[in-house]
Structure 1
């Protein structure tokens, strides 16, 4: 479902370790807004906060939580992480995106899907 590159998984694990809470899961959400209509939001949630609308997938030993709406817009999503001279960041490659904003974090989808 969601594919993390090894670099993305390593960065998520690094960020998670800074939280000092062992039961945190990586949550990816797609929310209305941004330059193109939808944007990606990443956070950590305690596993006890999961609801019946959440789905948990594992990629590169990272448990990724998505709610039902995010699941609809993120099928086949690949997340990579890279660092360059301008800084590091996550990159999202969404096969459902019709257009992607220059920032790479905002996208639009076909409303007929």
Structure 2
């Protein structure tokens, strides 16, 4: 399995990278945080690190470190707009529960 990206998410990332003027892609990771245990981390990548896995969709690279990949395997990164709210959405089949505020999850 892999981490996948929808076309809407890829277009949003491409816009961010274009405005930024540099970058190999977007790092998707997890860190310990929140009331449910883990939170998603998104950051630009200028240089690959040892152990990084690279997934490419719609000409956008998503980079995941080996430690995060076990929690993100099979995740789809999407970008949604609902009314005035817009943002990235993580469709992660590994999640067993999420906190009420939506900031963290548990596997």
Q: Could you say which residue in structure 2 is the equivalent of 1:11?
A: 12
Residue in 2 that maps onto 1:56: 54
| Unmatched runs of 5 consecutive residues or more in structure 2 | none
Deviation at 1:90, TM superposition (A): 0.7
- 2:3–2:74 Cα contact (<8 Å) kept: yes
Partner SS, residue 52 of structure 1: coil
Q: CA RMSD in A?
A: 1.4
| 1:3-45 deviation line (CA, Å, top 9, x unaligned) | 1111111111111111111x43211111111231111110111
TM-score, structure 1 as length reference? 0.85
Structure 1, gaps ≥5 residues long: none
Aligned residue runs from structure 1 range 84-95, under 5 A: 84-95=82-93
Instruction: Say how many residue pairs are matched.
Output: 106
Q: Say whether 1:32 aligns with 2:32.
A: yes
Check conservation: 1:28, 1:40, Cα contact below 8 A: yes
Say whether residues 1:75 and 2:73 are aligned partners.
yes
Change (3 A) 1:98 1:54: same
Contact 1:100 / 1:106 at 8 angstroms: preserved in 2? yes
More strand by share: 1
Q: How far apart, CA to CA, are the structure 1 residues paired with 2:29 and 2:21? A: 22
Deviation at 1:86, TM superposition (A): 3.2
* CA–CA distance in structure 2, aligned partners of residues 92 and 105 of structure 1: 11
Moved over 6 A (4+): none
